[in-house]
A = this chain, B = another copy of it.
Amino acid sequence: MTSLIKTTVLGFITFFFITSVHAQSLSEQDRAQIMALKKTALSSNLAYEIDESLTTEVGPRRVGTPGDKLGIDWAVAKMKQLGFDKVWTEDVTHYAWHRGTAEARILAPYPQKMVAIALGGSVGTPKTGLSAEVVEFADFAALKAAAPGSLDGKIAYVSYRMERKINGAGYGPAVRTRGAGPSVAASKGALALIIRSVGTDNNRIGHTGGLHYKDGIAKIPAAALSNPDADLLSNQIRRGKPVKVFLKLTAERRDDTPVITHNVIGEVTGRTHPDEYVVMGAHLDSWDVGTGAVDDGIGVSISLAAAHYIASLPERPKRTIRVILFAAEEVGLVGAEEYVRKHEDDMVNHIIGAEWDFGTGRIYEMTPGVGPSALNAIRELAGLLAPLGVSLSPKNTAKGQSDMSALGNKGMPAINFEPDGMAYFDYHHTENDTLDKVDAEALKQNTAVYVIYSYFAAQSGVDFRK
């Protein structure tokens, strides 16, 4: 609380300082409009209600599943219901993958069941499963350092423990094994890879997430153990006797079978500059195990709610508000890359973009990635956001988060809004990603930030590239 007050006071000081020395981008009337929008966002449950609707009426939305299709229909209908002026979908193609079931057991020295989950995209084991001795590695570097052939006939096991950090910085070092580990293990001769879950919780629930097989290397099955089961396995290994594990994944990967999904795009059309887009992004797909309430139901909900508040004003802002709900993010930003391909020619009309794909929590910082002349406008925006507890990062390096990075890498200016991510990796990519994890009060702050950002960028006419 104390630090919030400090931040707020500092914010006001910054704000008054800025406004005294620079021309403002917004008129007093626009500024009053923003205050009214903020008040609406802070007093409404709309974003939570949208997420409740998505998770109750649709549920899991993994690319290529019936839930994915249902989610797309839901999003189109919801955008229309919320007063968007235009709503359409754009095709995205991916390949088929079936999760099946995962079974893991320690066979020796002390037989016990373990909770495991297939990594996304993993091939299955032989139909009857496989049994092999386990070799433990402390981290990805240790696995990479294993001698070729040293894992022949073995199961590689990486027990690296992800660290909990407010900005999610523990994810990078941990996720390396999930993505690249299967091919590295295969290159040493391993029959399969199992990893400690990339997650910060201690639940008997595994964390899934995409893997990336390297061309020319055998595709081996890969699964994540729940963290308590990883503890158990390491405790048995520590006793010094050979540890043998049974693993059975009935997953099926069908690289040659395309599945079609869709980006869903909705616009609140600009009054004077309809072809200039202020973008809010989120991904509509989710993993198949939870209901995707957090990842990325929250991004979907706050974007839709913020756009709805603007669509409900008597007058449209100058520029268009474009909400892009990306398909197939979880399998590698596939929808975002398709969007960029399709919109290459009008990428220059994407004035600025922000994506929310980092769970539930209050936004405490914003990092811009804009041209040097636009920094004054960013400071003006920061002044408006400071009373909400959002501080301005001294960096100007943002390329857009998650899907939005595909657009950022094509030159679109971006703002990254950073929420408190301490709890995010407790639920990330698990069955536990459900509505009860959503912080309804934080959602109001998130939506207030989004509506201020988008109205500011749409109404001010600032060129964020300059």
Contact = CB atoms under 8 A, between A and B. Distances in A.
Interface of A: 52, 55-60, 110, 112-113, 115, 202-205, 227-228, 231-232, 235-236, 239, 290-291, 430-432, 434-437
Given A228-B436, A235-B52, A204 B431 contact: yes
Given A57-B110, A202-B432, A232-B434, 20 more contacts: A52-B235, A55-B232, A56-B110, A56-B232, A56-B236, A59-B112, A59-B232, A115-B431, A202-B436, A203-B203, A203-B205, A203-B432, A204-B430, A204-B431, A205-B205, A228-B434, A228-B436, A231-B434, A231-B435, A235-B435
7 contacts: A52-B235, A59-B110, A59-B232, A60-B113, A203-B432, A204-B430, A232-B434
A6 to B, nearest CB: 26
Contacts of A434: 202, 204, 228, 231-232
Contact of A204 (B232, B235, B290): B290
B291 A437 contact: no
A107 B55 CA distance: 15
A235 B436 CA distance: 12
A102 to B, nearest CB: 14
Tallying the copies of this chain within the complex gives: 2
A431 B58 CA distance: 28
A232 B291 contact: yes
A436 B231 contact: yes
Nearest to A231: B436
A329 to B, nearest CB: 21
Contact of A435 (B203, B232, B291): B232
Nearest to A436: B202
A205 B291 CA distance: 15
Contacts of A56: 110, 232, 235-236, 239
Q: By CB atoms of chain B within 10 A, which of A204, A235, A432 has the most?
A: A204
Contacts of A235: 52, 56, 435
A205 B204 contact: yes
Contacts of A204: 205, 290, 430-432, 434
A113 B66 CA distance: 13
A113 B59 CA distance: 9
A434 B114 CA distance: 12
Contacts of A436: 202, 227-228, 231
Nearest to A233: B56
A432 B231 CA distance: 13
A435 B228 contact: yes
